[in-house]
Structure 1
Amino acid sequence: MAGASRGRSLEETPTWAVAVVCFVLVLISVIIEYMIHMIGKWLRKKHKRALYEALEKIKSELMLLGFISLLLTVGQGLISDICISKEIAATWHPCNKQQEKSINESGHEDNTDTEHRRRLLAISNTGRVFRRSLAGASEDKCAAQDKVPFVSSDGIHQLHIFIFVLAVFHVLYCVLTLALGRAKMRSWKRWEKETRTIEYQFSHDPERFRFTRETSFGRRHLSFWTKNPVLMWIVCFFRQFVRSVPKVDYLTLRHGFITAHLAPNSDTKFDFQKYINRSLEEDFNVVVGISPPIWFLAVLFLLFNTHGWYSYLWLPFIPLIVILLVGTKLQVIITKMGLRIHERGEVVKGVPVVQPGDDLFWFNRPRLILYLINFVLFQNAFQLAFFAWTWYEFGLKSCFHEHVEDVVIRISMGVLIQILCSYVTLPLYALVTQMGTNMKPTIFNERVATALKNWHNTAKKTHQTQQGLGESILQQAKLPVSPDLPGSPPQKLPERNRQPQYFS
């Protein structure tokens, strides 16, 4: 690869070869676009507005990644023409000096590992200039100044491949996240059906008095460890791994939500499980998004993958620590709800009623937890995409994976975080965040919400039309505007025309 000759340009290439390549690329793009269109059409037919908006956001994220790739293509020559000194370019390498020297000396070998290593040096080597068909002029220009390119043409091409791999992993992780979350919440449908049975109504008799600690919710959350905040966090930390959402917690939170936000006697009529599903679909728009702060953290991740920082020992654990902290906080919120029930009295009538409130969440913002989940999911997808890209480009035994522990940690953490976040924490978030102060608009189904919006818009337009018609009639008749008409300014009567008002 180091001594590759200049390749043929398009003027030396058969037109049929160019046409075949363009036809295949266009065909693949049309097929992908048609598939996305059919998925969106199916979501609109099923009245899945939130999922359709999430699909549109995924399309916009893919367009952003494609735009980044286009900028790299257009600016490839400009970036390669930037020359920097060898002293500056010799810092922050993924390989150490001994590894780079051994790779340079093993250039005569022609095996797979050596080939991958030589490709790695295209972006990390500073003492040796590699001439490529697309960057020969820029590298010769820098070599004449005893400098090296800022980023070589090969390095930019490898970034193109990384962007493609990142796009694939981002889409797969979005689909897998929603699928695992819905699979976990599907088991709640059975509990929801039990609320309509006679056995449930008998066991939850509203006229029965019981001690708070004797209820199922009290036995689970009221114990000696709840009096100590440290023990509470330790117990709640382990609870997210075993029955993170038990039946008693689901039914108790359901009853508390209905009592706080809905009319009386709605316990057996309201489908709480469907409401949570609609709320999760609405929040999924945030999960699939890539905000500027997350992009900034992803760039920091690329920066820290340098030799001597031992990034494989701490970078993969950051998303794991964040998601474990979020899961523990959600369990603590449920326990604190139980403590508040006990503080109101040792005897409860009927089912224990939890009181929703934003003060239970960090900074009184339940939605902050969703942003943390979004950060964890994208960073996990980014790290696995980076691992797959370095494996493909430079081999499994490259400088990026110098130790076997690196490979084991990255793969195991990627799988563990995805399962833990999608199957455990995300459903728990969907349930606990319903205990906020405000009720979400997804309390109405898609058709009812659309009908209410249309009614509101129609009423608003009718009011504006009537108001404008009344003012125009008065102006044409040249009459003073009466204060009784809507939208008219208040009139001040003369002093002699004022009548005294008497109050009984």
Structure 2
Amino acid sequence: MGGAGGGAAASGTRSLDQTPTWAVAAVCAVIVAASILLEGLLHHLGQLLNKRRKKALFDALEKVKSELMTLGFISLLLTVTGRYISRICIPEGAANTMLPCRLSVHSEAKEPEGHGRRHLSEDPSYLFSCPKGMVSLVSADGMHQLHIFVFFLAVFHVTFSFFTMSLGRAKTRIWKVWEKETCLPTYEFQYDPSKFRLTHQTSFVRQHASCWSKSTILLYVVSFFRQFFRSVRRTDYLTLRHGFIAAHLSPGTKFNFRKYIKRSLEDDFKTVVAISPPLWASALAVMLVNVHGWHNLFWFSTIPLVLILAVGTKLQAIIAMMAIAITERHTVIQGMPVVKLGDDHFWFGKPRLVLHLIHFASFQNAFEITYFFWIWYEFGLRSCFHDNFELIIARVCLGAVVQFTCSYITLPLYALVSQVNTHLHCMLTFNHQPTLSINKTNTSQHFCQGDN
């Protein structure tokens, strides 16, 4: 009996009936304390958002908590069903197809007593051997690695959500200076409605409606490069602001357009943090085609890049087309040029389609980066997964660029340009008197003063 206990101790595979109660209680205490701390932090963050009337951000937080609950349930299922899944046997020929790494003959020779068994399989509760010519569908060690992958998904989902919103808000802070200019008397004098000018003399038209804008191809080429260099200029912001107020509010209204854009960005963020079934399907597709020799992960990593660049180009082209439309309507304007609002500027006349493309690109890119760090943690940086190391480094750098571009440039640009459509995002009130009703349930006061 003593020999059996010693053998168990030597192999390091003691079960709970042979583990000191103080050790079990200590580990459980740490896990419970960490869980309570996390739940408390999320609860206080929710209270803070409610106190500051950040309904959109509060809804986004609730969605993040819901996604974490889903991932937690997936982790629980892996834990409960792991032993039974590892006992499902499949033919060895089927098990040797579509491998992420080259099949190693030496590793098979080192484990004659059990096919596909790793260190977790040494536990007596996992002792199971498939018939000859058969192997486990997913080994016990493989189930444990999947369990860790789910944990990585949860951590990186929260991390990427935080950085996406932080970078987006940092971008809108730049527009705060321009918004304050509209409260100054010099602004009203500069854009005096009694002044008449030719359309081509306005700075907005000069920047966007040049000779190159007469060619559709050149317009999109210039728009492609413009998204990287001052994607939103002062004249763009002020002109879109003026067109928005002229279309939806009474003349002379002291409206804080930047604050409204910030609320719209928060509403868009609420959509971006959600993980829908199609996004889960795209993630599973990435895992499915990660076959040795195919190099599909690199090509999959280019999809978010292409989408983000295409969306950014389209948004810049919309601004240019609005400037061209001003020159086509008349030759003389009064005060600041008024842009024409409408959904027809967007693909298929649906602005939300652009947001869904941003959502897909952001999730796909974040998933691929998470996948890289999980492989690094589980198998090492120079593992068989990364046989073409230079290609892997290029893919990770590409992912970092895409994530920054999406969060700091494309998403804020969409929040601004999407306001040119005919539907508003929330209910605006001035001095507690409603002036117009719109689609979303948000209620807030957007004055020229009190910007934050």
Please state how far the C-alpha of 1:39 moved relative to its aligned partner: 0.9
1:7 aligned to which of 6, 13, 30: 13
Please state how far the C-alpha of 1:430 moved relative to its aligned partner: 0.8
Please state how far the C-alpha of 1:18 moved relative to its aligned partner: 1.0
* Residue 186 (structure 1) aligned with residue 173 (structure 2): yes
Name the TM-score, length of structure 1 as normaliser: 0.80
Name the % identity. 52
1:382 aligned to which of 367, 384, 387: 367
Any conservation in 2 of the 1:135–1:152 contact (CA below 8 Å)? Answer: no
Corresponding residue number in structure 2 for 1:141: 129
1:74 aligned to which of 42, 57, 80: 80
Corresponding residue number in structure 2 for 1:490: none
2:289 aligned to which of 304, 314, 317: 304
* Residue 405 (structure 1) aligned with residue 390 (structure 2): yes
Any conservation in 2 of the 1:80–1:151 contact (CA below 8 Å)? Answer: yes
For residues 272-319 of structure 1, the C-alpha deviation after alignment (integer angstroms, 9 at most, x for no partner) is 000111111122110110011001000001112111211243121111
Please state how far the C-alpha of 1:135 moved relative to its aligned partner: 7.2
For residues 356-385 of structure 1, the C-alpha deviation after alignment (integer angstroms, 9 at most, x for no partner) is 101111121111111111112211211111
Aligned-partner SS, 1:289:
coil
Amino acid at match of 2:166: A
2:243 aligned to which of 246, 250, 256: 256
Please give the alpha-carbon distance, in whole angstroms, between the structure 2 residues aligned to 1:384 and 1:312.
11
Corresponding residue number in structure 1 for 2:425: 440
Please state how far the C-alpha of 1:146 moved relative to its aligned partner: 2.1
* Residue 292 (structure 1) aligned with residue 289 (structure 2): no
Corresponding residue number in structure 2 for 1:391: 376
The number of aligned residues is 426
**For the structure 1 residues 86 and 137, does the alpha-carbon distance in structure 2 shift closer, same or farther, using more than 3 Å as the test?**
farther
Please give the alpha-carbon distance, in whole angstroms, between the structure 2 residues aligned to 1:78 and 1:310.
32
Please state how far the C-alpha of 1:448 moved relative to its aligned partner: 7.9
* Residue 314 (structure 1) aligned with residue 320 (structure 2): no
Please state how far the C-alpha of 1:48 moved relative to its aligned partner: 1.1
2:401 aligned to which of 416, 429, 432: 416
Corresponding residue number in structure 1 for 2:445: none
Any conservation in 1 of the 2:117–2:139 contact (CA below 8 Å)? Answer: no
Question: Any stretches of 5+ residues in structure 2 without a counterpart?
Answer: 1-9, 442-452
Please give the alpha-carbon distance, in whole angstroms, between the structure 2 residues aligned to 1:354 and 1:370.
22
* Residue 359 (structure 1) aligned with residue 344 (structure 2): yes
Any conservation in 2 of the 1:47–1:446 contact (CA below 8 Å)? Answer: no
Aligned-partner SS, 1:148:
strand
Amino acid at match of 1:408: I
Please give the alpha-carbon distance, in whole angstroms, between the structure 1 residues aligned to 2:241 and 2:49.
28
For residues 70-124 of structure 1, the C-alpha deviation after alignment (integer angstroms, 9 at most, x for no partner) is 1111111221121111111111111124xx246668x7xxxxxxxxxx9xxxxxx
For residues 423-445 of structure 1, the C-alpha deviation after alignment (integer angstroms, 9 at most, x for no partner) is 11111011000111111215349
**For the structure 1 residues 445 and 324, does the alpha-carbon distance in structure 2 shift closer, same or farther, using more than 3 Å as the test?**
farther
Please give the alpha-carbon distance, in whole angstroms, between the structure 2 residues aligned to 1:154 and 1:257.
58
Please state how far the C-alpha of 1:340 moved relative to its aligned partner: 1.2
Please give the alpha-carbon distance, in whole angstroms, between the structure 2 residues aligned to 1:386 and 1:219.
46
Question: Any stretches of 5+ residues in structure 1 without a counterpart?
Answer: 108-117, 119-125, 457-504
Any conservation in 2 of the 1:129–1:148 contact (CA below 8 Å)? Answer: no
Any conservation in 2 of the 1:357–1:437 contact (CA below 8 Å)? Answer: yes
Structure 1 vs Structure 2 CA RMSD: 2.4
Task: Write the mapping of 1:478-497 to structure 2, written as runs, cut at 5 A.
Answer: none
Aligned-partner SS, 1:187:
helix
* Residue 64 (structure 1) aligned with residue 70 (structure 2): yes
**For the structure 1 residues 235 and 366, does the alpha-carbon distance in structure 2 shift closer, same or farther, using more than 3 Å as the test?**
same
For residues 165-205 of structure 1, the C-alpha deviation after alignment (integer angstroms, 9 at most, x for no partner) is 11111101111111111111101111011112222112212
Corresponding residue number in structure 2 for 1:232: 219
Please give the alpha-carbon distance, in whole angstroms, between the structure 2 residues aligned to 1:400 and 1:393.
11
**For the structure 1 residues 283 and 134, does the alpha-carbon distance in structure 2 shift closer, same or farther, using more than 3 Å as the test?**
farther
Any conservation in 2 of the 1:256–1:354 contact (CA below 8 Å)? Answer: yes
Please give the alpha-carbon distance, in whole angstroms, between the structure 2 residues aligned to 1:297 and 1:78.
27
Structure showing greater Rg: 1
Please give the alpha-carbon distance, in whole angstroms, between the structure 1 residues aligned to 2:179 and 2:95.
62
Q: Which moved more, 1:239-248 or 1:338-347?
A: 338-347
2:228 aligned to which of 241, 245, 259: 241
**For the structure 1 residues 12 and 323, does the alpha-carbon distance in structure 2 shift closer, same or farther, using more than 3 Å as the test?**
same
1:163 aligned to which of 150, 164, 167: 150
Aligned-partner SS, 1:314:
helix
**For the structure 1 residues 424 and 445, does the alpha-carbon distance in structure 2 shift closer, same or farther, using more than 3 Å as the test?**
farther
1:88 aligned to which of 88, 94, 116: 94
Corresponding residue number in structure 1 for 2:449: none
Amino acid at match of 1:297: S
**For the structure 1 residues 80 and 104, does the alpha-carbon distance in structure 2 shift closer, same or farther, using more than 3 Å as the test?**
closer
Runs of 4+ displaced beyond 6 Å: 134-139, 445-449
Any conservation in 1 of the 2:118–2:140 contact (CA below 8 Å)? Answer: no
Please state how far the C-alpha of 1:6 moved relative to its aligned partner: 7.6
Corresponding residue number in structure 2 for 1:30: 36
Corresponding residue number in structure 2 for 1:475: none
**For the structure 1 residues 83 and 341, does the alpha-carbon distance in structure 2 shift closer, same or farther, using more than 3 Å as the test?**
same
Corresponding residue number in structure 2 for 1:342: 327
Please give the alpha-carbon distance, in whole angstroms, between the structure 2 residues aligned to 1:265 and 1:132.
72
* Residue 151 (structure 1) aligned with residue 138 (structure 2): yes
Name the TM-score, length of structure 2 as normaliser: 0.89
Please state how far the C-alpha of 1:19 moved relative to its aligned partner: 0.9
Any conservation in 1 of the 2:386–2:392 contact (CA below 8 Å)? Answer: yes
